[in-house]
Structure 1
Amino acid sequence: MILILVKNELEKVLRRKRTYISFLLIGILIPFVVGAISNGGTTLEKSIYGQLSDSFFFIGSLLNGYLATYIIIAVLINHMPFLSTIIASDIFSGEYSRSTFRMYLTRPISRTKVLASKVIVVLAYTSTLMGFFFLYSLIISISWLGTGELAVFHKGILFLSSDEVIQRFTLAFLISNYVMLTISLLCLLISAISKNSVTPIIITISIVFVGTAITYIPIELFKIINPYLFTGYINSFLRAFHNPIPWSHFGSLFITCTVWSTLFVSLSLFFFNKKDITD
């Protein structure tokens, strides 16, 4: 039964035009950004070298596809919560507004299974979108600028060899995707409560905005609570490029996001079971 429900949810998602908006925006934007990075390469290299150029003589260029991908992800990752919640925002509220729940929830179908199928589809969509974002950025950047060492800022300038860069990007994807899954499940929870598809996105993005502000505002209270908020880990993918890799930080991220995700799914089930589909 659950496989049939997942297939049904997937078909509904694939038929909606909004499903492809995020992929289209990323597909159009990335080449423009890579082109801008390529044209502004000299200025970018000067900002990376900084005062080191006065003391050292550099041969070759640091501007390559890996650096461009790193910059793209670092700049756009804070906008991904909006794109990743497009489907989650409509997964329940869309059904309420179209009254489709009345047709199949009056049959002997468990609401728990219906929720599970929607959760699976939301997680699959978010992971696919994040995978596309990382992989597409990497492919376009490498095709345009080639490969080489990756220079990142960590206790000065850290150079990562081309042999380990792909592993670091894979780790960065896993980290950022896990946080984004939690954000999508938050949006799903709000969608289970709301009958408007726009409201879940607005509330979710507002929560992310407030959480991000808590991360960056240097107040002692915020520093204490920030490790327990999933929003404090949105930019944690940058640590995948540190040396050594801070596995303890990623462990905290995994625990925090898992707890919040479990809470969001549990509350979604509670409100969904309480929902009167005849309204």
Structure 2
Amino acid sequence: MAAYKAALINEIEKLYKKKKALVALIISLVVIVLGQLAVVGVRSGFGVRGAGSVEFPVLVLSVVVNTILPLFTALIAIDCFSGEFSHNLMRVTLTRPVSRLKIYTAKVTAIAVFILANLLILMVFSMLAGFLFNANSATITAVARTVLVYVISLFPLFTLALGIVFLANILKSGTSVFFVAIIVFLAIKAFGIFFSEYASLLITTQLDWYNLWLANSLPLAKIGREFCLMLGYALMFFAAGFYLFDKKEF
């Protein structure tokens, strides 16, 4: 356990120093500012109420969870594996007295920490922006629900990240992994549009999983089914990715 903890801290420190994490945060904050300006403009120009203090964070989440966060999650996942493969840094990592399973697990855990940190920072700033412009609409229940939907959004994004890690262990070039991931992501999105009856089975559709938790009456059966699907995807991607990682020679 101590070896895994040390490996995890090392991976988090490496992610912390990467500029991509800072860029992801800056772009997320820009989305918040532009979104709130748009809400204020609609409210003042057309007399429409716009999004309230707790509705605005959900509006921001609906935008970033399908655009910015998957993009930067892909970049971070690629850096953790393909980036170290191409710069021969993985060989240095493997010289430490830590098993490959612990190194692999530490890397994917660090990616999960990156995703969760981005979600929480985004949530805090979007809620602050919402309170600043429409504090009267906030209730404890609504705030708790907002926190919930941000936290549970970690799971589908992390499942997506494990899929990209799997690709990163197949392809050598980080650029190739990135473009293949983008093409596959868009192809699955298009498949879900044209074959909507199968959309609920697709990982891209599950990025909107948080919407199920916003219903007045929770559809527990559907939530449970999508959770099991994502868990199945996550376990398969993790196992397949580790198998390839364990067989690699550095």
- Whether TM exceeds 0.5 here: the answer is yes
Quote the Cα distance in structure 2 between the aligned partners of 1:250 and 1:45: 37
* Mapping for residues 12-27 of structure 1, pairs under 5 Å: 12-27=14-29
- The Cα of 1:43 is off from its aligned counterpart by 6.5
Look up the match of 2:70: 81
- The Cα of 1:179 is off from its aligned counterpart by 0.7
The answer to whether the 8 A contact 1:127-1:181 is kept is: no
Quote the Cα distance in structure 2 between the aligned partners of 1:251 and 1:268: 25
Deviations 1:223-255 (A, max 9, x none): 1x3333222212232222222121222111211
Quote the Cα distance in structure 2 between the aligned partners of 1:129 and 1:199: 25
3-state SS of paired residue (2:76): coil
How many corresponding residue pairs? 247
Higher fraction of helix = 2
| RMSD, aligned α-carbons | 2.2
Look up the match of 1:115: 104
Quote the Cα distance in structure 2 between the aligned partners of 1:11 and 1:181: 19
Larger radius of gyration: 1
Look up the match of 2:190: 213
Deviations 1:106-130 (A, max 9, x none): 4554211110111111111111112
Gapped regions of structure 1 (runs ≥ 5): 47-60, 150-161
The answer to whether the 8 A contact 1:18-1:87 is kept is: yes
Look up the match of 1:70: 58
2:134 is the alignment partner of 1:134: no
3-state SS of paired residue (2:177): helix
Gapped regions of structure 2 (runs ≥ 5): none
Look up the match of 1:30: 32
Quote the Cα distance in structure 2 between the aligned partners of 1:235 and 1:28: 22
Look up the match of 2:167: 190
- The Cα of 1:2 is off from its aligned counterpart by 1.0
Q: TM-score, normalised by structure 2?
A: 0.88
The 1:97/1:148 distance shift into structure 2, 3 A limit, reads: same
Quote the Cα distance in structure 2 between the aligned partners of 1:215 and 1:249: 17
The 1:163/1:3 distance shift into structure 2, 3 A limit, reads: closer
Deviations 1:7-30 (A, max 9, x none): 221222222212211011112231
The answer to whether the 8 A contact 1:38-1:145 is kept is: no
3-state SS of paired residue (1:230): coil
- The Cα of 1:181 is off from its aligned counterpart by 0.9
Q: TM-score, normalised by structure 1?
A: 0.80
